């Protein structure tokens, strides 16, 4: 059961780390075109949102009233560390490349990680991997497109 708790935290942290970080990056880039803002957004997600998600998983697992404290803490720490680490991976292209290129590289990196994870998860659960990958990619792309347009709107309205 401890393995399940680690898997819950890892899968939640990875997915949330990818989608949330990409959404923040794309929105901040569209709204500000500022490397500093994008780096600040990534670090904020890696720290504040990782703690928030870890606490959310912790409380969710407690509320089910069927996990041991060890299992609950395993999910909590697994969520925090996976979100923290996956979110931080997005800072590398921003530090090494021009900002617009870094955003494109980050989108490719994030969607590729999401595809690989979704594919493996679906195969482990004997589900149609392409259906699962398609669903997860569709949600990620919707977030990316929406945050891009929200960033543009904020820039044109308040900039």
Considering the entire predicted model, what is its pTM?
0.94
Instruction: Kindly tell me if the per-residue pLDDT of 58 is higher than 90.
Output: yes
> pLDDT per residue over 81-129, tens digit each?
999 999 999 999 999 999 999 999 999 999 999 999 999 999 999 999 9
- Four-point Cα dihedral 151, 14, 117, 123, nearest 10: -120
d(CA 8, CA 80): 11
**Based on the number of CB atoms within 10 Å of its own CB, is 3 exposed (0-12), middle (13-18) or buried (19 or more)?**
exposed
Domain boundaries of the chain, sorted by first residue: 2-158
- Does the pLDDT at position 1 exceed 80? no
Nearest to 55 by CA among 92, 13, 3, 14: 13
Whether the pLDDT of residue 159 is over 90: the answer is: no
Over the chain, what is the mean pLDDT? 96
Kindly report, residue by residue over 63-75, the tens digit of the pLDDT.
Answer: 999 999 999 999 9
């Amino acid at each position: 059961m401890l393995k399940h708790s680690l898997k819950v935290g890892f899968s939640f942290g990875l997915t949330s780390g990818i989608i949330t970080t990409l959404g923040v990056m794309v929105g901040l880039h569209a709204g500000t075109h500022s490397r500093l803002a994008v780096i600040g957004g990534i670090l904020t997600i890696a720290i504040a949102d990782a703690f928030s998600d870890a606490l959310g998983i912790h409380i969710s697992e407690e509320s089910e009233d069927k996990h041991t404290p060890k299992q609950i803490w395993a999910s909590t720490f697994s969520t925090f560390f996976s979100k923290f680490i996956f979110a931080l991976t997005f800072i590398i292209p921003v530090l090494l490349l021009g900002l617009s290129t870094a955003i494109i590289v980050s989108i490719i990196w994030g969607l590729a990680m999401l595809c690989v994870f979704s594919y493996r998860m679906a195969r482990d659960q004997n589900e149609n991997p392409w259906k699962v990958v398609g669903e997860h990619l569709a949600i990620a792309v919707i977030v990316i497109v929406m945050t891009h347009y929200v960033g543009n709107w904020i820039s044109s309205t308040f900039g």
